[in-house]
Chains A and B, each alone.
Chain A
Amino acid sequence: NAGVTQTPKFRVLKTGQSMTLLCAQDMNHEYMYWYRQDPGMGLRLIHYSVGEGTTAKGEVPDGYNVSRLKKQNFLLGLESAAPSQTSVYFCASSSAYEQYFGPGTRLTVT
């Protein structure tokens, strides 16, 4: 099993550009999450999903959209990137309590 994978691992965007981050899990988990990690802030929840076709806002959802069309995939979109979105993004999946994290995507917006 690959566990939780994220694509891409690194990306540099210019302000105003758009992109989509892909998270995939092969553990048949219902719950999936997108977090961002910034120095001195800890992990913060952006959006999450409790099952295929569902999404919900987390702590810091502004500027991001998500979709969960298939159970195994959770997409995070940035429609118009801003320098404040420079961060490391982690995806995670969970069946109940234990969360499994992806390797992270380092995004820089210039």
Chain B
Amino acid sequence: KNEVEQSPQNLTAQEGEFITINCSYSVGISALHWLQQHPGGGIVSLFMLSSGKKKHGRLIATINIQEKHSSLHITASHPRDSAVYICAAHTGANSKLTFGKGITLSVRP
């Protein structure tokens, strides 16, 4: 079983919809990252959080340490949000990350 699990694996939405992507982890963490990767593109860090909630534009990330669960919400989704969203957990020393497999989001116009 992977230490970091993401669901659903693939997600399709209509433009304007509210989208939620989930991440659960089975180990103790010091911080959790949400990353974005556009097709054929590089990897960009969206959020790093260790508690509570963070917001940036239309994106909101939350984490529940007790339940070992994090969510990434996208409000008023747009086709340019189509990308792979990766959850990654800081699980130990040396700033190493453990990655989920990523979720492919497609937002249709």
Contacts and interface: CB of A to CB of B under 8 A. Distances in A.
Interface of A: 31, 33, 40-45, 48, 50, 56, 58, 90, 92, 94, 96-104
25 contacts: A40-B101, A41-B101, A42-B99, A42-B100, A42-B102, A43-B86, A43-B88, A43-B97, A44-B99, A45-B96, A48-B94, A48-B96, A56-B94, A92-B43, A97-B90, A99-B33, A99-B45, A99-B95, A99-B97, A100-B45, A101-B35, A101-B42, A101-B43, A103-B41, A103-B42
A41 B48 CA distance: 22
A33 B31 CA distance: 18
Contact-residue size bin, chain B (C-beta under 8 Å from the other chain): 20 to 34
Contacts of B101: 40-42
Given A31-B95, A45-B96, A50-B94, A98 B48 contact: yes
Contacts of B95: 31, 94, 96-97, 99
Does more than half of chain A's interface fall in helix, strand or loop, or is it mixed?
strand
A44 B4 CA distance: 12
B44 interface: yes
Interface of B: 30-31, 33, 35, 41-45, 48, 86, 88, 90, 94-97, 99-102
B31 A97 contact: yes
A90 B43 contact: yes
Contacts of B35: 101
A87 to B, nearest CB: 14
A40 B102 CA distance: 8
Nearest to B2: A42
Contacts of A31: 94-95
Contact of A97 (B48, B100, B102): B48
A93 B31 CA distance: 16
A66 to B, nearest CB: 14
A44 B48 CA distance: 19
Contacts of B88: 43
